[in-house]
Structure 1
Amino acid sequence: MRSLSKKYLLTSATLCGALLLAACNGDATGSESEEEITEDDIGSVGAMESFEVGDTFVATEPLDIGILYRDLPAYPLETDWMFFQELEENNNVTFDITSVPLSDWEERLNVTMGAGDLPDYSTDIWSGHETPYVPSGTVLPISDYTHLMPHFQQRLEDWEGVNEQIENMRQLDGKYYVLPGINENIQFDFSMKYNQTVFEEYGIEEPQSWDELRDALVILRDETGTTPLTLWWQGNATFNFGGGSFDTIGGWGSMDGAMYDPDTEEFVYAPMQQGYKDMIEYFAGLTEDGLMDPEALTQDDQMARGKLINQEAFVSSGNIGTITDVNEGLDDQYGEGEFEFSRLPILAGPNGQVMRGGNTNSGIMLSADVAERDDFLALLQYIDWQYYSDEGTEFAHWGVEGETFEYTDDLVGGYKPVDGIRYERLNVGAPESLQEDYGFGNAAFAYAGPAHIRQSIMEEKEFNYQTRMNEEVEILLPDPPRPMSPADQEQASLLSTPLLDTVDQYTFRFVTGQYSMDRWDEFMEELEAQNVDAFMELVNEAYADYQEAVESATE
């Protein structure tokens, strides 16, 4: 089975750390040696004189932060949320928000970064998103400053494997530019979901593999006359969490299309490998046989939701939020408890019950300009407290004890919203929402963290699901680093963009049935004509150069 072992990841990260040390002392990459930045070297207006693990951040002078904010339709931005009011009153922090609708997010982010107009920081940045912007110098090398963030450092020290994964985010200059969300354990956010009531009605056992799911869909098609599978998020989530089981990458996890092959110890272009073909052939076959909705790759979330609630489909991709949403809609339409959607396990495929992932997830990217702020240290302290302290994490997820939540021994998660406030599947039917009406549980601020907080919104069923998946699923850890010089990164971006456009077009046409799989060779020829070999040569040269630099650093 093709997977990156933890041993490999630890070795890679250890060498990467050695490379950074060499770069600071004498330089394996050719840059001049650097002194560690201290608090005295940066603007400290508003900063706390003493800020340590366990301290609550309170700016000594008002701290206003510019943020590029991904606005989600599930809880549209309200600037008077309690979340913002509490930060202003108790922490002396306010925000200047540039709100971007989810539908426009990727385009707006690219335009903003291309113009060098990023506010102080951006939400919802995955490692790899920053790479095209690093050469321009518009992104802050945050690794130069994380030693000034005590809560961040504690999580790296205490949580197994996290430090190594962050080390793998370093660019060729030995620095990293994204502050990711850090989880204490693996969080299985996305999976397939299914109408458990309907499955039981037709005597269908819970599928454990993609093949078993196909068999179940055949029964549902024949018994109900429907097209039983549709997809949420146009397949991006499905191809992402399902890719590992087919030994490939896809959807949100595609990045630039390159994937490390530990057998050859080189990177390969994933869409040209057998695993990607197997995955696309599987879903194309579902569409061809009337098992998957032809609109699955084009519809918006509301269309997918409507089909599941109206019993036009019985299986979809999702997460706990979409399951809650659909179940509430089913309760409204058919009566409480008449139908219930549940999670499917991570399904096994040709590569086994495997998922790509790790303890890190999307986080934030800071503008290089923040380093010139006279209150830069205060900004670092706020970010450290908000995103990496237990207190900040609890506040972002749950709000204020006694006003929005209370502790409890009655629920497996240990928390519950107060009467009158609903949150996910807790207090369903309450008139107010912790997210929509108060601004807590907001993905821009409430993500990652200690297991007891991340899992606190879970009903016992979901809690047990996460425990089971952590025991059963093999995790393919992140690929080794392959940072590029600015010139090579620019060339790689010029090559990879049209390649990915071609991959997206052919994937869409294969899966929707517009193209027969007989045209796969045509797809491969098109990628070759667009210089995929030149792109992969750049990637593998970067990987080889980095390995050489690592080896030199450890001699």
Structure 2
Amino acid sequence: MKLLNKRNLALYLTLSGGLLLAACGNGGEAGSPEEEITEDEVGSVGAMENFEVGDTFVATEPLDISLLYRDLPAYPLERDWLFFEHLENEHNVTMNPTSVPLSDWEERLSVTVSAGDMPDYSTDIWAGHETPYVPSGAILPISDYVHLMPHFSDRLENWDGVAEQIENLRHSDGKYYVLPGLNENVQVDFSLKFNETVFNEHGIEEPQSWDELRTALETLRDETGTDKAMTLWWQGNALMNFGGASFDTIGGWGFMNGAMYDEDTDEFVYAPMEQGYRDMVEYFAGLTEDGLLDIEATTQDDEMARNKLVNLESFVTSGNVGTLTDVNESLEEAHGEGEYEFSRMRILEGPNGQVIRGSNTSSGIMLNANIADDDDFLAKLQFLDWLHYSDEGSEFAHWGVEGVTYEKTDEVAGGYRPLENIRYERMNRGADEDLQEDYGFGNVAFAFAGPAHIRQSIMDEDEFEWQSRMNEELDVIVPDPPYPMSQADQERASLLSTPLQDTVEQYTLRFITGQYSLDRWGEFMTDLENQNVDEFMELVNESYRDFQQSLEDAE
């Protein structure tokens, strides 16, 4: 797996120390001993003394920690999960989640943070989520405190590429405000999946490119009579996220504010105004027009997608290993064991090659700024450090309690196996209980990253081989270089980017579903221009140039 777009990242890493030195008021380097906030300067009620890498966190006094929790329909929150019970009984920590349905997540997150009502921390935060809230001071600049988190610091020091990618999270004040999940290696979470049984029945080989996928869908349409050979999970947000790179663009969950770095010109462009975005939209609009892509695909919920796959109306969709398991279990219930099976499809080659945007980071958490004033702040930091960034915490979050929910064994490739009465992903299918639904482990709110042996332990042999194959085949485009903004510029950028993104989403949906002809692309571009896209991009590029100049001056 080759990493691309490293030139500016390398420059940034070489010089970032100088910038951060300048960011510190007295000229000391950020994070240096004379600048660090010490344990004595924060509330330490319940904290452990001499907390180090490898230590199990147990609060010395009962610790309550609140969180804004994104609830998933696949395993709805249960407050009596063993996950919570074990933390309370064995670690002296009581977690108090405020549950937010997945469908309301983005709006509730924005309202809660903006109103100053966020609990101690929030789950499911991707880099960029925090940006609108930084100017208000509502979010904790966690970079000021990570030296008090030994496991997090250890992973930054010892896992290749991780420290570099964390540096990309810094804002113009030299601080970062998100603790992302850290992975020891790059893992491809999302891809297409296909009904391999049906493909074999019709003599269709696994596609290697988007063009070959179209040919396969045409065969399925002609042979089965369906006009929805392909449907989508998550309304296309995953599809355009992992597929965008092969068209040389960004989309879906990866769209963020629409700014995309162009290495050739060494500046940022607004992705929807580039040829790559049109190529991507035109491709999927063409599938819909020709009766190959389900016209409801970009608006339906997960249950509608699942039903079409199980009822053999659709044979290709987007997803991850969790949705793969979900669909295969549903197919088995509906048609019998072994009758039909979905498999992962390789990341397809497009006009930009067989590439994907990726990193060692994933969704993570952000903290309420007020938490720093709590008398148990240090204990909360230590707990989050242990749960999310220690090997022991990663094992607990993913698998639970040894002998109660899982066992370690050499009989499976990953070395971990749920107990016989518990199913997890594709293991122990048909068991009475589920590790996620009934126990709360393997929950993406808490088990979102970790060391390679833990991440790989949940893979069956097929998934392990697929990940290995992708690591050999794929080129990975690393995250874009940063362009931290001043508070005033950030506020202006947010005001400009929000209506622009709304316009992009509306046109993209209407083009793909056929409500708008692609003849109206010029109208789309004009609307973006009328909404001051040039001003927005000038803010981005001016901030980028200023930041690069600061780096060069500090060299």
Query: TM-score, with normalisation over the residues of structure 1?
Result: 0.97
Q: For 2:7 and 2:208, how far apart are their aligned partners in 1?
A: 29
What does the per-residue CA deviation read over 1:28-65, in whole Å, with 9 as the maximum and x for residues that have no partner?
A: 99xxx982111111011100011111000000001100
Let me know the Cα RMSD of the aligned residues: 1.6
Is contact 1:260–1:479 with CA below 8 Å preserved after alignment?
Answer: yes
Q: Which amino acid aligns with 1:527?
A: L
Specify the alignment match of 2:324 in structure 1: 323
Q: Alpha carbons of 1:34 and 1:134: their partners in 2 closer, same or farther (altered >3 Å)?
A: farther
Conserved? CA contact 2:28–2:35, under 8 Å:
no
1:184 equivalent to 2:195? Answer: no
Structure 1 match to 2:172: 172
Counterpart for residue 415 of structure 1: 416
CA distance in 1, matches of 2:453, 2:434: 22
Q: Does the 8 Å CA contact 2:191/2:242 hold for their aligned counterparts?
A: yes
- Note the 1:143-222 alignment, pairs <5 A: 143-222=143-222
Residue deviations 1:149-168, cap 9 Å, x none?
A: 11111111111101000001
Deviation at 1:553, TM superposition (A): 1.9
Partner residue of 1:501? Answer: 502
- 1:235-271 C-alpha deviation (Å, 9 max, x unpaired): 0000000010000000000000000101110000000
* Residue number in structure 1 paired with 2:546: 545
Structure 2 counterpart SS, 1:429: coil
Which blocks of at least 5 consecutive residues in structure 1 are unaligned? none
**Is residue 2:504 matched to residue 1:535?**
no
Secondary structure of the structure 2 residue equivalent to 1:437: coil
Give the 5 Å matches for 1:5-154.
5-24=5-24, 26=26, 35-154=35-154
SS at match of 2:318: strand
- Percent identity reads 72
Corresponding position of 2:248:
247
Q: Distance in 2 between the 1:450 and 1:412 partners?
A: 16
1:94 deviates by 0.4
When residues 3 and 388 of structure 1 are mapped into structure 2, their CA distance, relative to the original with a 3 A threshold, is closer
Name the CA distance, whole Å, in 2 between partners of 1:514 and 1:34: 61
Q: Which amino acid aligns with 1:298?
A: T
Task: Tell me: CA distance 1:157–1:359, structure 2 relative to 1, closer, same or farther (3 Å).
Answer: same
- Mapped partners of 2:292, 2:96: distance in 1: 47
Matched letter for residue 51 of structure 1: F
Give the secondary-structure state (helix, strand or coil) at the position aligned to 1:100.
strand
Conserved? CA contact 2:21–2:28, under 8 Å: no
Question: C-alpha deviations, 1:374-394, integer Å up to 9, x for none?
Answer: 011101100110000000000
2:402 aligned partner, one-letter code: E
What is the distance in 2 between the residues matched to 1:299 and 1:241? 19
How far did 1:118 drift? Answer: 0.9
SS in 2 for 1:171: coil
- 8 Å CA contact retained: 2:114, 2:138: no
| 1:157-188 deviation line (CA, Å, top 9, x unaligned) | 11110100000100000000000000011111
Deviation by residue 1:293-344 (Cα, 9 ceiling, x = unmatched): 0000000000000000000000000101111010011101111010000000
- Asked if structure 1 preserves the Cα contact closer than 8 Å seen for 2:132 and 2:490, the reply is yes
Equivalent position amino acid for 1:132 in 2? P
Residues in 1 aligned to 2:5 and 2:293: alpha-carbon distance in whole angstroms: 35
TM-score, with structure 2 as normaliser? 0.97
Q: Give the CA deviation at 1:25.
A: 6.7
Q: Are 2:377 and 1:376 aligned?
A: yes
Q: One-letter code of the match for 1:515?
A: Y
**Which amino acid counterpart does residue 62 of structure 2 have in structure 1?**
P
Alpha-carbon separation, structure 2, partners of 1:131 and 1:9: 20
Aligned partner letter, 1:142: I
Q: Find the aligned partners of 1:7 and 1:416 in 2 and give their Cα distance.
A: 42
| Equivalent residue, structure 1, for 2:315 | 314
Alignment correspondent of 1:456: 457
In 2, distance between residues paired with 1:7 and 1:392?
35
Cα contact 1:4–1:478 (8 A) shared by 2 = no
Q: How does 1:426-505 map to 2 (within 5 A)?
A: 426-505=427-506
**Structure 2 alignment gaps of length 5 or more:** none
1:16 counterpart letter in structure 2: S
1:28 and 1:552 in contact (8 A); partners too: no
| Partner deviation per Cα, 1:100-132 (whole Å, 9 max, x = no partner) | 000100000010111111110000000001001
Mapped to 1, the partners of 2:358 and 2:526 lie a distance apart of 31
Aligned residues: 551
